[in-house]
């Protein structure tokens, strides 16, 4: 029997081109005369009725969306917490080795001046046609070059990005100019030899980029968000079993409740805290914190005002 509830469901789904269902999906977009793609993980609890948060997760330079799924492990948390995870693919000469144009980095995307901000706009527009998205809770994270891209989005797409969580990658521009305060939680290891904590060329960097320092990134966003210049500092008293130590610096008091948080992993490498790195050359990954857990906790505090 065709019920009223079923009729309402039909009308709701009619608004979508291809309604999302729980599971993993691949979406293609035509932009700048090029076909580009992104992956979407839809949590098991998604029913298409209640608006859900979205986390954009950008892969590192020389990687791709499929590798990022395995690298960061956000799908498991998405199923528990009920948010969508979107994994965009960058551009490159080889489909398995892609980059983002985050400003001063990296590779193909930067050299060809790819408009990755426009690509992300197109992703969000496309996603809203297929899923019930909470427009006030769209967040961005990324690894390395992907973290640099998250910073660029916070500056140039602040009307749609609520907050960001860069991991092992600094800001890729000299300044930032968001239209609204964008809360930031930055996670970085002091022994990172690819994107050095203090900036400059990493001894193991493939792109040989002159990276900005973490301090440069934090200061720029403390200023942009109107936060207090002196942070509240919480340090681990002892090193964990893996030899790392965690320091949290929180710059609060920003406009509209914005804050900037720096999570320093003393002894940490070019890695994703809480996840085993796929290659030993990346350095040490701390097990005392989970990047996924701390960023989700932070994101929940900071929907777009």
**Structural tokens at position 38:** 């992104």
- To the nearest 10 degrees (0 to 180), the angle between helices 65-72 and 74-81 is 70
d(CA 145, CA 112) in angstroms, rounded, equals 16
CB contact set of 151 (below 8 Å; sequence gap of 6+): 102, 103, 164, 166, 169, 170, 171, 172, 173, 176, 217
CB contact set of 134 (below 8 Å; sequence gap of 6+): 51, 52, 53, 54, 303
Q: Is 4-301 a domain of CATH 3.30.1330.40?
A: no
Residue 37, SS3 per DSSP? strand
Tens of pLDDT along the chain (305 residues)? 333 333 333 333 334 567 899 999 999 999 988 999 999 999 999 999 999 999 999 999 999 999 999 999 999 999 999 999 999 999 999 989 999 999 999 999 999 999 999 999 999 999 999 999 999 999 999 999 999 999 999 999 999 999 999 999 999 999 999 999 999 999 999 999 999 999 999 999 888 899 999 999 999 999 999 999 999 999 987 777 888 999 999 999 999 999 999 999 999 999 999 999 999 999 999 999 999 999 999 999 999 98
Give me the residue spans of the domains in the chain.
4-301
Answer for the pair 265, 188: CB distance below 8 angstroms, yes or no.
yes
């Amino acid at each position: 029997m065709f019920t009223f509830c079923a009729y309402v469901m039909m009308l709701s789904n009619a608004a979508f081109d291809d309604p999302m269902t729980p599971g993993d999906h691949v979406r293609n977009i035509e932009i700048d005369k090029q076909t580009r793609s992104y992956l979407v993980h839809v949590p098991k609890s998604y029913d298409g009725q209640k608006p859900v948060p979205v986390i954009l997760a950008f892969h590192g330079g020389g990687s791709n969306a499929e590798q990022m799924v395995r690298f960061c492990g956000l799908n498991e948390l998405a199923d528990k917490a009920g948010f969508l995870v979107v994994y965009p693919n960058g551009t490159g000469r080889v489909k398995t080795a892609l980059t983002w144009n985050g400003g001063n980095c990296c590779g193909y995307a930067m050299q060809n001046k790819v408009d990755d901000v426009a690509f992300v706009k197109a992703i969000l527009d496309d996603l809203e046609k297929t899923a019930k998205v909470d427009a006030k809770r769209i967040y961005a994270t990324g690894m390395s070059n992907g973290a640099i891209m998250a910073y660029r989005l916070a500056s140039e797409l602040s009307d749609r990005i609520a907050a960001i969580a860069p991991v092992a990658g600094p800001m890729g521009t000299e300044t930032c100019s968001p239209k609204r305060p964008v809360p930031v939680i930055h996670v970085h290891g002091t022994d990172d030899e690819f994107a050095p904590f203090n900036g400059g060329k990493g001894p193991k960097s493939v792109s040989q980029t002159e990276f900005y320092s973490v301090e440069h990134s934090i200061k720029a966003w403390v200023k942009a968000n109107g936060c207090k210049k002196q942070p509240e500092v919480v340090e681990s008293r002892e090193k964990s079993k893996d030899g790392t130590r965690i320091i949290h610096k929180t710059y609060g008091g920003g406009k509209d409740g914005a804050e900037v948080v720096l999570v320093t992993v003393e002894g940490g490498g070019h890695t994703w805290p809480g996840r085993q790195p796929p290659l030993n050359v990346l350095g040490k990954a701390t097990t005392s914190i989970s990047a996924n857990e701390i960023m989700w906790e932070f994101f929940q505090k900071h929907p777009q005002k």
